[in-house]
Amino acid sequence: MIITFCGHRELYDEKEVKVWLERVTENLIVNGAEKFYLGGYGAFDRLAASVLAEQKKRYPQIELVLILPYLNRRKDISPCDSSLYPPLESVPKKLAIVKRNQWMVDQANIVISYVLHSWGGAAKTLEYAQRKNKKIIFFK
């Protein structure tokens, strides 16, 4: 089972979101989640990666994969196990993150969403996931 994330660049209550992410990701891992696709941009992505790095100490079988929107950019992939560049070679640079996010949603069984308003990239990715009828776990 592949899990991905969709969330804003800014966090409004990091402690609350962290507790929620810990609970949600542990429940998913216990129920068979084995691969987590991470975007690596913004506060929500960083928090998700941090929470999963801690989960990996208890559940070493999970795999954390950083999904890269650009092929020739150096990026620190820690704490991820690996990185992957989806087939985006023909995508214009200004659309690379949007198309990368859509690819992540397409691959995922479940999308974990921290989307609090209806504008911006996270909201567009969430709308895409809803159109694709993905199972979505919403921050409450």
Residue 22, pLDDT score: 97
Q: Is the pLDDT of residue 75 over 80?
A: no
Average pLDDT over residues 109-125: 94
The DSSP call for residue 139 is -
| pLDDT 10s digits, 11-31 | 989 999 999 999 999 999 999
Interhelix angle 42-58/14-30, rounded to 10 degrees, is 40
What is the share, in percent, of the chain residues with pLDDT greater than 70?
100
User: Domain coordinates of the chain in residue numbers?
Assistant: 2-138
Integer Cα distance of 106 and 54 in angstroms = 26
Integer Cα distance of 118 and 92 in angstroms = 25
CATH topology of domain 2-138: Rossmann fold (3.40.50)
